[in-house]
Amino acid sequence: MLENHGLFDIGAYLMEHGKDGRGGSLSAGTGLAEAGETYVAEALVRLERELAIQVMDDGVHWEQSPMYHNEVLRCVLEVLRMAKRRGISLPPALTGQARAMALADLAWMKPDRTQPCGGDSDRTDLRDVFTLAAWLLKDEELRFAGYERLDFDSVWDLGEEAALEYRSMKSKAPERLFYPMEQSGNWCLRSGWGWDGDYLHFKCGSLGGGHGHFDKLHMDLCVAGEDVLIDSGRYTYVDGSLRRQLKSSCAHNVPVVDWQEYTQCAGSWEVKGRTAPAARDWCKKGPYTLLQGSHLGYLPAGVLVNRRILSIGSRIHVIADEFYGAGTHVCGQMFHLNPAGRVELGEDGFLYRGARAETAFYRLKPSEGGEAEGMELEETPVSFHYNQLEYAPCVSLWREAPLFVSMITVAAGYEAGDPNPYTVERVPVTAPVTGRQLGDGEAEGLRIRDGRHSWLVILNHLETGADGEYIGADGHYGLGRVMVMDETEPGSRLTVLQW
């Protein structure tokens, strides 16, 4: 992309200036202009082909790194800018890909207008990208995400008239608050488009290229515009223990098995043990959103790991990890937290305290008991900008037991300074036809209260059928594998999010 967008720029320059006397003699100038036309034509053929190969149907670049997604988008926007300036006609696919990539940026943009630190990415402000894209594509939603005025670089590139036109452009906040980008494996949920919004990003996609990290089933979380769960970033491209640690699965907010890596670094860019995402699913009904993903990385160890995240609104998230297989294993959950806040451990979980937001993390202990388990807090490296390193709190929850193992953690956020309104408790799950109470390995129930609402959640770990086909708790029953209801609503019943 870098090479061929440069070829386009050279060709466009020669087309404009080859005949104006800068090429020496008239014949020489004509020859340069003709060469420019050839360069432009060839560059457009290559660019259209490369974008068709590299950009997925949801607009995300295959590298699976927002920073390099934007490197490519910048190249395409430069082609659009030069084509507009020189009066060169472009294939519609080129403009379409630019729009799709810019809208993917919009989907995963965090409340503070930065990109997620996924893969080899920094915490970079996206507004300059949106500003340029909005003017070139005449898009009101991108205009909303951009600067109020053209930034200095854009004025330099586009000129005074563009600056005036941009200020007069209409701006419109996107109506959508949920973006399922299924082809790349990115799902983004938000409460709104303000700087104080809530935000969840769940990832279950391919590794991508050398800039990809081992982040299948990772989640980023913001509450009231503040980072709570973060990606550890990249720091360096120099191969070594720190480069490999920051690419590892344990540097992300994921479920892990035996503290082992399912993919191993073989250098700064090379890997061993490519694995595939699986079982990706989602459902949204009213205030309830279900996201699911799995991967095959631990199959050599005889374990299949599956993550389901049930979001109630945008501040309550039930993180349910399932470990299927045989034998005894240490099953874990990693949580990397914003270094700007502090973390307090408690008997039933831990609490993040930030400047604007607090989030309580409740771990549900097994109802049977008797298993070895623990919760540990340590400081681990994070990097929000290249060559800048700091340390942040990381909480790891673990349980050593024969499989099947279920680990459920509820993250519930609220405004800093307010009292914690939440309580979380286990609820026995029964099958009313037989009157049998189901074990934790079959299904689990929990109740979440915030002082105004009481939500009942039912999670079925097996298929719906036989004596486990109609299950629930406290007089509320259904046929789903994931069900939820607000018990305080008159006449409410369980909403099925996964059958």
C-alpha distances in angstroms, 361 versus 128, 364, 374, 460? 36, 10, 14, 22
H or E element, residue 221: strand 218-223
Q: What is the dihedral of CA 450, 454, 460, 464, to 10 degrees?
A: -150
Name the residue ranges covered by the structural domains of the chain.
2-168, 185-419, 421-499
CB 447 within 8 A of CB 454: yes
Could you tell me if 80 and 154 are in contact, meaning their C-beta atoms sit under 8 angstroms apart? no
For range 176-203, the mean pLDDT? 97
* Domain 2-168 identical in fold to domain 185-419: no
Cis before 404 (ω within 30): yes
Q: Which of 473, 485, 272, 487 is nearest to 367 (CA)?
A: 473
**Rounded to an integer, what distance in angstroms lies between the CA atom of residue 362 and that of residue 351?**
9
pLDDT at 468 over 60: yes
* Percent of the chain predicted with pLDDT > 90: 88
- The model's pTM is 0.93
d(CA 1, CA 66): 16
Range 132-138 average pLDDT: 96
The structure tokens listed for 37 are 């036309």
Average pLDDT of the segment spanning 377-400: 96
| Spatial separation of the C-alpha atoms in residues 359 and 165, rounded to whole Å | 43
Provide the pLDDT confidence category of residue 19 given band limits of 50, 70 and 90. low
- Select the CATH number that applies to the domain covering 2-168 from these four: 1.50.10.100, 3.40.50.620, 1.10.540.10, 3.40.50.720: 1.50.10.100
Q: Which CATH number applies to 185-419: 3.30.342.10, 3.30.499.10, 3.20.20.140, 2.70.98.70?
A: 2.70.98.70
For residue 489, pLDDT over 90 is answered with yes
What are the Cα distances from residue 10, in Å, to 5, 40, 105, 387?
A: 9, 8, 28, 34
